Structure 1
C-alpha cells in the first residue's frame, strides 16, 4: 500500500512572501478607496507597506496586474463568506437572507470595506477590468437572487418584482460604507443588525 505523501509546510520565506503580498493587496485597496484607479499611486502603496516601489514590481509587473490580483483575492474571500450564509443549513429563506445582509454589512464595514468599489459606478476602472467586474457582480447577485427566489417560492416572501426588490436590497447594502463611521454611536455589529432587520422587511408579507 502506497503511503500518502506528507503535506509540505510552507517555509518561513514562503510565509513571509505571502504575508507581504497580502499587505500589498490591502494597501492597494486602501489606495483605491482614496484615489480611484487612475490616480492610485504605486509610490503611495509602497509607502503604506514600507517597501520600495521596486519591491512592488517584484510581486506585480504593473498597476493593472496588482489590481487584477486585488480583485481576485478580495472577491474570493468575500464570496466564500457569503456562500456560507446563503447555504446555511436548517435556515429558512428569511433567515438566510437576513444572514446574507448582515454578513455583507460586516464585510463592508470591518472586513473588506474596499469591496464596495467593485459595485460603484463612480470608480474609473479601465476597460480591461470590465468583464472581470461583470463576472464578479453576476456571482454576487446570484447568491441573493437564489435566496430571494426560494423565499418567494416557499411563500415566505411577497414582492411586486423580485429583480426590483433585489436591486433595492443590494443598493441599500452597498451604500452602507458611505455613511458608516468607526467612531459613531453604534458598533459595526449593531449597524449590521439594524440594517439586516430593516431590509428584510421589504420581503415580508404584510
Structure 2
C-alpha cells in the first residue's frame, strides 16, 4: 500500500512509535491493533509495515529503545561514596520514570507479551540496569555504609519502589518533583539501613 500523500518517512516513523507507545500504555498491547495505530497517525494500515515488520517487533523496539536510553543516561561515579551514589541513583530513577512514564509502564506491564526471544533480550537489558544499582549496594556493604542482606533482591525492591511513582504522581499535585525525590531518598536510605 502506498504512503499517505504528504507523509514523510523521517516524520511518519517517529509518529508511529509515539502513537504505539501512547496506545499500548493506555489500552494495553493486546487491545491495540495496527489499524488503530495507523488511524492515530493518519496513515493507511499497510503503511505501518514500511516501518515495522509487525506489532510484536514494534513493542520490542519500544522497550529496547527505552532500556537503551535508560542505560545510556545513567552515569555512576565508582570512586564516590556509596550513599551519595545511591542518592544520585534514586533521584535519577524517579526523574527518568516521571519523564518517560508511558515507556516505563510498557516495560513493566507488557513484558509478558513479548516472544521468548524478545523477552530474553529485554530482560537482559533490565538485568544490566539492576546490576548498576547492585554495584552501589555492594560497595556500600563493603564500606559499612549500607546494610542489606541480599544486594540483588534489595536492588530489585528499590527499583520497584522508585518506579511505582509513575502510578500516582501527577504534575501540579501536592508535592513537586524535588520534594518527592527528597522523600523517596529518605525511604531508600532507611531501606538500606543508612
Paired positions, count:
186
What CA RMSD, in Å, does the superposition of the two structures yield over aligned residues?
Answer: 2.4
Alignment of structure 1 residues 78-97 onto 2, 5 Å = 78-82=70-74, 84=75, 87-88=76-77, 91-97=80-86
Residue in structure 2 matched with residue 178 of structure 1 by the alignment: 167
Alignment of structure 1 residues 56-205 onto 2, 5 Å = 56-82=48-74, 84=75, 87-88=76-77, 91-120=80-109, 124-128=112-116, 129-205=118-194
Is 1:41 the counterpart of 2:33? The answer is yes
Residue in structure 1 matched with residue 3 of structure 2 by the alignment: none
Q: Does the CA contact (< 8 Å) of 1:119 and 1:174 recur in 2?
A: no
Cα distance in 2, alignment partners of residues 34 and 95 from structure 1? 36
C-alpha displacement of 1:29: 1.6
Cα distance in 2, alignment partners of residues 124 and 160 from structure 1? 29
Cα distance in 2, alignment partners of residues 23 and 80 from structure 1? 23
Cα distance in 1, alignment partners of residues 55 and 22 from structure 2? 14
Residue in structure 1 matched with residue 23 of structure 2 by the alignment: 31
Cα distance in 2, alignment partners of residues 132 and 109 from structure 1? 24
Cα distance in 2, alignment partners of residues 117 and 131 from structure 1? 16
Cα distance change of structure 1 residues 173 and 116 upon mapping to structure 2, 3 Å threshold: farther
C-alpha displacement of 1:37: 1.9
Cα distance change of structure 1 residues 89 and 29 upon mapping to structure 2, 3 Å threshold: same
- TM-score under structure 2 length normalisation: 0.82
Residue in structure 1 matched with residue 4 of structure 2 by the alignment: none
Cα distance in 2, alignment partners of residues 140 and 182 from structure 1? 27
